[in-house]
Amino acid sequence: MTTQRARICKGCWQQMRVPVPLHGVLSLPFRMVGIRPSRMNPNTCTICELMFTRVMRARKISIDATVLFADLRGYTTLSQSLPDDAVSGLLDTFYDECASAIWDFDGLLNKTIGDAIMAIFNFPIQQPDHVRQAVLAAREIHRRCHARRADLVRAFGSQGDQLGVGIGIATGQVSFGEFGRSHRDLTAIGTVVNTASRVQSVAGAGQILVTRAVRDGAGPELAEREARAYQLKGFETPVELFAA
């Protein structure tokens, strides 16, 4: 799939029906006054980031969202035998492929955490099918990373073939806002975020695991998937997860 960037800001059009151009000659006057594509989702613009300012003033808001965590499996072992520039190049490639896949489905790349990323769907671009969009983004991450496998083998030998991506997805109510005192961080927190992170931790390389709520909300293509019980860290009882 080729990444398609929106010609106008989806957030401004969705919220205000204002066609703010993001690319081309028509965007130049807007760029002169500081209006340009957002770094967290280039299908939105810096006007949409004013929404974040309102969130920061309110400290936090409650939103219905789908949260995706993806982790680069095999990275820690491989990084021990690589020079620093090769390690940074590997992470750059992973981040770029994840970001493109997430933005293709209007998700927000909220965090990069070592060899993992966190994405949020349904904010600031609202999506009635945000659960399905997150699943499709996860599959696109796998497709993109698999397509780079031959390059990794050429660069790192047989060790490159051991790299893969494990993905976990959960959905429900989260608190989105600016948290912390000495270090303030704009992000989502709550049980859904913690669950998505734990689900990702048990997903194998090349695997997408989702909660029952995601399975039920993703549409008919996951309806027949069978559950498997996993013991997640911090959970007293096993949690049913589904492969997507």
63 phi and psi, to 5 degrees?
Answer: -135, 155
In a domain, residue 5? The reply is no
Q: 73 and 177 share a domain? A: yes
Cβ within 8 Å of residue 47, ≥6 positions away:
9, 11, 12, 20, 35
Cβ within 8 Å of residue 135, ≥6 positions away:
169, 208, 210, 214, 218, 222, 244
Q: 96 and 132 share a domain? A: yes
Q: 72 and 185 share a domain? A: yes
Q: Is the model's pLDDT at 84 over the cut of 90?
A: no
Q: Rounded to a whole number, what is the largest CA-CA distance in the chain?
A: 57
In a domain, residue 1? The reply is no
In a domain, residue 3? The reply is no
Of the chain, the percentage scoring pLDDT greater than 70 comes to 86
pTM of the model: 0.82
Q: Is the model's pLDDT at 205 over the cut of 60?
A: yes
Q: 16 and 69 share a domain? A: no
Q: What is the mean pLDDT of residues 181-198?
A: 82
Pairing of strands 207-211, 185-189: unpaired
Q: 53 and 70 share a domain? A: no
In a domain, residue 143? The reply is yes
What would you report as the CA-atom Rg of the chain, rounded to the nearest whole angstrom?
Answer: 19
In a domain, residue 31? The reply is yes
In a domain, residue 4? The reply is no
pLDDT tens sequence across 115-166? 899 999 998 888 999 999 999 999 999 999 888 776 766 666 555 566 789 9
| Confidence bin at 2 (pLDDT 50/70/90) | very low
Q: 48 and 156 share a domain? A: no
Residue 70 has what pLDDT?
Answer: 97
Domain count, the chain: 2
Q: 53 and 124 share a domain? A: no
Alpha-carbon distance of 196 to 211, in angstroms, equals 8
Q: 127 and 206 share a domain? A: yes
The domain of 200 spans: 59-243
